[in-house]
Amino acid sequence: MAMRPFVGGNWKMNLDANGATALASAVALGAPACQGAVDIVVFPPFPFLERVARALGDSGVELGAQDLSSEANGARTGEVSAEMLRDVGASWVIVGHSERRQHLGETDARVADKLLMALESGLRCVLCVGESLEQRKANREAEVVGSQVAAALAAIPAAQVHSVVVAYEPIWAIGTGVVATPQDAEAAHGAIREALTSRYDSALARETRVVYGGSLAPGNAKALFARPGVDGGLVGGASLKAPDFLAICSAAAHRLIAH
Ligand code: 13P
């Protein structure tokens, strides 16, 4: 059974206030064309969450944040809590993006704490995993994504896993224009589902959406989403242009899965 696909737009540290509003309005306007068949979520920078929430209105496009604190509140200067995100209308959050793991020292343990905090606060999560170029050259991709998934979900009970989407984002494909082949993605998604099966069971592994991220574009999305087990995408650069992002959403909504 094919699952309802998920497409997220990770805007990263881009845009200004007016640009964020304009992009959200354009996505909201175009989304109804594919929305019956795909979950669409945008992830703006923190300062723009409220205005993006207003621009999305009742379009059905959901709002997410790019990160959260592992703490509930208190003396954590510069951090943003799960409750604050919910308070401004976010229902999703990205956890463990490779840019935070690489540049901001985010460890597997910290990712696990954040995931737990987000889920306990009622946020749904996109958990990002993915191997570096060196790890892929050493044929370690399955081991790397498997251990990232196992570490992040170690404290998460089965009942909460339906609120998690796992994003396979190979680091060498992010922002490089080098996209994983559909076969590479399918294999890595299989490794992620094996890790989910070890942690929980095969039914839960099958029911958990696993999406691809890394240089997704209108021209390559269709072939990726046609692979069994590739349940949508997490889009960086192409999510900053509404027509490109909407084309990727449409490719997910109309995907025909090869067998
Ligand atoms: P790009 O689509 O720009 O490669 O970024 C992918 C990504 O990191 C999404 O989280």
pLDDT tens digit string along 16-69? 999 999 999 999 999 988 867 999 999 999 999 999 999 999 999 999 999 999
Neighbours of 158 (CB within 10 A): 12
Question: Which whole number is the average pLDDT over 81-102?
Answer: 98
Regarding pTM above 0.95, the answer is yes
Contacts of residue 19, Cβ cutoff 8 Å, sequence gap at least 6: none
Average pLDDT over residues 90-105: 97
Return the pLDDT at 2. Answer: 66
Find out whether the beta carbon of 8 lies less than 6 Å from any atom of ligand 1: no
Q: Which atom of ligand 1 is nearest to the CA of 99?
A: 8
Residue with structure tokens 């999510």?
239
- Residue of 62, 141, 169, 186 marked catalytic: 169
CATH of domain 6-27+40-70+79-258: 3.20.20.70
Strands (E), the chain: 6-10, 39-43, 62-65, 92-95, 124-129, 164-168, 210-213, 232-235
Burial 186-211 (b: 16+ CB within 10 A, else e): bbbbbbbbbbbeebbeeebbeebbbb
> Where exactly are the structural domains of the chain?
6-27+40-70+79-258
Cβ–ligand 1 distance for 205 under 6 Å, the answer no
Q: Report yes or no: 129 and 164 within 8 Å, Cβ to Cβ.
A: no
Eight-state DSSP code of residue 38:
-
